[in-house]
């Protein structure tokens, strides 16, 4: 039978779905175990969530992970990522999400085409174009792959552009302890990482520099999450490293964002320190996994995350409507 340690893993459940001529009828379900209580277990399957009363479970066991995440896992992670970066203006097209934040970041100003848009695909893309046109914004759609490949094909046919790929990376928590390469003393091993519930003005200035300004909507995107922390590291009174952590996705996912170290003190282990502090905070808040989004072409950040044990879960492309 299953135990709490199996939550987050892929399992198969044989359940009793009826009795015919005095014999039990079985049905098998495969998916990720997202919750286990005394009375029910909840599975994220490729078809969506399935809640099974424990009394109906004939047999259940862990199975090896697939090399590719299931569609359900991609959907769950994309929704947790959306919660972690909440656009203030939102709409729905069936299951698809429409998001707008005064143009601040692609993520908060793009449609997320996962699930059923409640209309044919071409009509759904038309509706996305109209929604953004009404707000005077270019239409963007983030397509997680391969899940949203059919949407991508429709956008190709319409001549939509493509921004460089973004990797969505994950790691189980806690992160493994990491030591500086080559035995070099870790200059910042004892640095104090302050985790504040709100960003300081200097923190916001770094975010503004990175993301090109800071409209009112940006403050909402950064702070309108129940569990959020803003990492600050000061040296001689100046802010030298920042980061942001959130816990979303029903408490499972620590989201890491806006990790940045000022150029003068890079390659001294500061980003690692910030991430480890945020990870410890996430674990204390109940998170079992970390995720982040990084542009594939950001070599320094990709190397950093690889060093910390993060692996690519899936990728997405930000698609841009032609003028
Ligand atoms: C990415 C960034 C946060 C790294 O910060 P940092 O404090 O220099 O990173 P660390 O010193 O903790 O690096 C830890 C490890 O990451 C890897 N790494 C970091 N920067 C690297 C680089 N430029 N090239 C190759 N590997 C790098 C190395 O393995 C490094 O360990 P080592 O120095 O012992 O070899 C920093 O370059 C930065 O602020 N970049 C701009 C903002 C950004 O891109 N943020 C990420 C957005 S997703």
Supply 105's token pair: 């970041």
Distance of CA 323 to the CA centre of its chain: 30
- Which pLDDT score, from 0 to 100, does residue 189 have? 67
CA count, 13 A, side-chain hemisphere, 69: 24
C-beta 259 within 6 A of ligand 1: yes
Domain ranges of the chain: 4-62, 71-164, 168-315
Structural tokens at position 6: 């199996």
Tell me the sheet residues that pair with 87. Answer: none
Atom of ligand 1 nearest to the CA of 210: 42
3-state secondary structure of 26: strand
Q: What is the pLDDT along the chain (323 residues), one digit of tens a residue?
A: 898 888 878 899 999 999 999 999 999 998 878 788 999 998 876 666 689 999 999 999 998 876 788 999 999 999 999 999 999 999 999 999 999 999 999 999 999 999 999 999 999 999 999 999 999 999 999 999 989 999 999 999 999 999 999 999 999 999 987 655 444 446 676 779 999 999 999 999 999 999 999 999 999 999 999 999 999 999 999 999 999 999 999 999 999 999 999 999 999 999 999 999 999 999 999 999 999 999 999 999 999 998 998 999 999 999 999 98
Supply the angle between the helices 201-211 and 216-223 in degrees, to the nearest 10: 110
pLDDT at 10: 83
Report the C-alpha gap between 165 and 8 in whole angstroms.
27
By CB atoms closer than 10 A (0-12, 13-18, 19+), residue 219 is middle
Per-residue confidence (pLDDT) for residue 155, from 0 to 100: 97
Is CATH 3.40.630.30 the classification given to domain 168-315? yes
pLDDT at 47: 60
Q: Which residues contact 51 (CB under 8 A, 6 or more apart)?
A: 40, 41, 42, 43
What is residue 186's predicted lDDT score, i.e. its pLDDT?
Answer: 60
Question: What's the pLDDT at 183?
Answer: 42
Burial of 166 (0-12, 13-18, 19+ CB in 10 A): buried
What is the predicted pLDDT for the residue at 182?
44
Residue 185: what pLDDT?
A: 47
Cβ atoms of residues 172 and 288 within 8 Å:
yes
d(CA 236, CA 200) in angstroms, rounded, equals 16
Indicate the top mutation candidate among 207, 303, 310, 312 to test ligand 1's pocket, ranked by most ligand atoms within 8 A of CB: 303
pLDDT tens digits, residue range 207-258? 999 999 999 999 999 999 999 999 999 999 999 999 999 999 999 999 999 9
Ligand 1 centre distance from Cα of residue 212 (Å): 21
Report the predicted TM-score, pTM, of the whole model to 2 decimal places: 0.81
pLDDT reported for residue 117: 97
Question: Token pair for residue 248?
Answer: 């979303």
pLDDT for 46:
63
Question: How many angstroms is it from 317 CA to the middle of ligand 1?
Answer: 23
- For residue 266 and ligand 1, the question of a CB distance below 6 A is answered with yes
CATH T-level topology, domain 4-62: SH3 type barrels. (2.30.30)
């Amino acid at each position: 039978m299953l135990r709490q340690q199996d939550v987050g893993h892929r399992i198969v459940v044989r359940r009793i779905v009826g009795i015919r001529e005095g014999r039990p009828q079985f049905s098998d379900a495969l998916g990720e175990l997202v919750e286990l209580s005394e009375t029910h277990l909840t599975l994220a399957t490729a078809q969506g969530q399935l809640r099974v009363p424990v009394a109906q479970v004939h047999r259940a066991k862990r199975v090896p992970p697939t090399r590719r995440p299931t569609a359900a896992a991609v959907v769950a992670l994309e929704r947790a990522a959306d919660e972690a970066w909440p656009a203030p203006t939102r709409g729905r097209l069936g299951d698809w999400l429409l998001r707008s934040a005064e143009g601040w970041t692609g993520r908060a100003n793009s449609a997320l085409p996962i699930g059923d848009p409640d209309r044919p695909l071409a009509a759904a893309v038309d509706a996305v174009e109209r929604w953004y046109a009404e707000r005077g914004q270019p239409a963007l759609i983030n397509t997680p792959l391969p899940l949203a490949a059919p949407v991508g094909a429709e956008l190709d046919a319409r001549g939509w552009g493509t921004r460089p790929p973004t990797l969505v990376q994950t790691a189980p928590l806690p992160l493994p302890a990491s030591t500086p390469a080559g035995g070099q003393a870790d200059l910042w091993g004892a640095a104090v990482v302050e985790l504040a519930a709100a960003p300081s003005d200097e923190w916001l200035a770094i975010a503004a520099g990175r993301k090109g300004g800071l409209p009112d909507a940006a403050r909402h995107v950064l702070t309108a999450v129940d569990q959020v922390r803003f990492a600050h590291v000061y040296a001689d009174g100046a802010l030298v490293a920042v980061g942001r952590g959130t816990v979303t996705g029903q408490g499972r996912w620590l989201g890491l964002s806006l990790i940045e170290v000022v150029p003068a003190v890079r390659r001294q282990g500061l980003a690692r320190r910030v991430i480890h502090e945020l990870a410890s905070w996430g674990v204390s808040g109940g998170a079992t996994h970390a995720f982040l989004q990084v542009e594939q072409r950001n070599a320094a950040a990709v190397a950093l995350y690889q060093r910390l044990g993060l692996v690519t879960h899936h990728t997405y492309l930000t698609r841009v409507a032609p003028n």
